[in-house]
Structure 1
Amino acid sequence: MSDAGDEDDQARLFREAIGQVRRIAPTPTPPRKPRPRPLARMAQADERAAASEFRRALQAMPIGAGDVLSHRVQALPVGVFNRLRRGQFSVQDELDLHGATAAQAETALRQFLRDAQRSGSACVRIIHGKGLGSQAEIPVLKNVVDRVLRHRSDVLAFHSATPAQGGTGAVVVLLGAR
């Protein structure tokens, strides 16, 4: 029993030595780091498939230097498209692809369209050049621009610019809400 008595004495001495105690309020647990955004694997797979299809289409039917780029979705009224063709829309942003390789142009164009969409731009101009100085027999950048624009769901219509805005060396694009 002396062991139990010694323990009681030691506990009593300890309490006397430290004095009065008060309970500390529990500290809240720190917030967790936010979870990383999930990867859009299906969207990435779709992008890869579209890029592959795009490259096949680029090789299948190239557009010539003097050819006019023109496309509209069925839902866009013909009158609106005709206004675009005549250059009656105010261009809100512009991308110049001169000097870019096909891969650089494709990446820059996709990023430019994404940024234009986020900023709310409805009409943009893309300068691709006529391709007269191209090493290839076809205007590479013009073909890249045509194929990318045709495969984007946010592009309502596009048409080669009026002569005053760059003619067949540029294209004016109408963007819709995504």
Structure 2
Amino acid sequence: MPRDRELKTEERILWGKVAKTTRPMPGRMEDLLAFADLEMPEPAIPVTAPVSTAAFAADAQEQPKTPVSRAHHPLEKPVKRKLVRGRLPLEARIDLHGMIQSEAHGLLLDFLVHAHERGLRHVLVITGKGRSMGSEGALKRAVPLWFSKPEFRYLISSHEPAAQHHGGEGALYVRLSRARGERS
């Protein structure tokens, strides 16, 4: 494709939507803002057969528009078995118990970003079981929820509770996603 070709309006709008989902490189924010004000034109609907408005309304009621959940997949059984038995090393670990949520959130995000940048694949996140003073384990509940947030989503491929000797229900095995272009 020639580099000097102008993008069509639809292509510019689509690229703008894709660009909004990423972090711009330093000094490139202006390029992202150039796409920000474009709106997608309504597509022309070809009329092939008369459509009953009652049938259309019934279809719209049956299928409510809900956002697609992007839940992580559990670890594959052979991978988890190797982690439990020590045949696949846990390349790094972080211990969060005793921290408040705001402190743990920032520390965990920083840890996972650095591990991802270093190309690590399997890490252990220790949240604690949360059984002191009647607590149900704020971090134990919160950390898996954080993994579904956008700032963590691209870093993590899967996660699952750890084996008993790695912390049991107070720890998580986390499989980090591969960096772009990485194979193996």
SS of residue matched to 2:78: helix
Partner of 2:27: 38
Partner of 1:90: 89
Matched, 1:169 2:166: no
Partner of 1:142: 140
Q: Which runs of 4+ in 1 moved over 6 A?
A: 39-42
Q: Tell me the distance in 1 between the aligned counterparts of 2:139 and 2:163.
A: 19
Q: TM-score of the superposition, structure 2-length normalised?
A: 0.52
Q: Tell me the distance in 1 between the aligned counterparts of 2:164 and 2:99.
A: 23
Q: Tell me the distance in 2 between the aligned counterparts of 1:176 and 1:141.
A: 22
Task: Return 111-120 or 82-91, whichever deviates more.
Answer: 82-91
Offset from partner CA, 1:64-85 (integer Å, 9 cap, x none): xxxxxxx743xxxx8x611343
In our comparison, the structure showing a higher alpha carbon Rg is 1
Aligned-CA RMSD value: 2.7
Offset from partner CA, 1:108-151 (integer Å, 9 cap, x none): 1110100000111100000000011166x431111221112233
SS of residue matched to 2:130: coil
| CA pair 176-138 structure 1, distance change in 2 beyond 3 A | same
Q: TM-score of the superposition, structure 1-length normalised?
A: 0.53
Q: Percent identity?
A: 25
Q: Tell me the distance in 1 between the aligned counterparts of 2:29 and 2:112.
A: 19
What is the one-letter code of the residue matched to 1:166? G
What is the one-letter code of the residue matched to 1:149? F
Alignment of 1:1-178 (within 5 A): 37-38=26-27, 72-73=72-73, 81-86=76-81, 87=84, 89-133=88-132, 137-151=135-149, 152-178=153-179
